[in-house]
Amino acid sequence: MKEEDKKALKTKIEELIVKYDQDIIETEKMTQPIAPENSLGRVSRMDAINNKSVMEASLRNKISKRNKLKMALTQIGQPGFGNCSSCKKEINPARLMYMPEVTLCIRCADR
């Protein structure tokens, strides 16, 4: 992977980490417990509980993605960064720009 590609990728990863940090804060606000003293009807309360569980799943996904991005950021300076962890061939730079956290090339990911 070329040095200018690595610099552009590092910038993108840093921007994505900031974005995910903000998204996580907003999503955490939406996963707060529903107080029983709120005057919601039975159906509305069930809807609120369902929405809360959807937001909790979204929160877990965002945290996982942010952690993978942080891992990619720490490994970007390593000699093998940008190579597939399975076949050891170079991952297409366009793929890395689209999904910086990937560790597999398209061929190995399809398997």
| pLDDT tens string 7-52 | 999 999 999 999 999 999 999 988 887 666 655 566 677 787 888 8
Separation between Cα atoms, residue 80 and residue 32, nearest integer Å: 42
Q: What is the average pLDDT across 93-104? A: 94
pLDDT of residue 38: 57
pLDDT of residue 108: 95
| pLDDT tens string 39-93 | 556 667 778 788 889 999 999 999 999 999 999 999 998 988 999 999 999 999 9
Exposure pattern of 21-43 as b/e (b: 16+ CB <10 Å)? eebbeebeeeeeeeeeeeeeeee
pLDDT of residue 33: 77
Tokens of 48: 């609120």
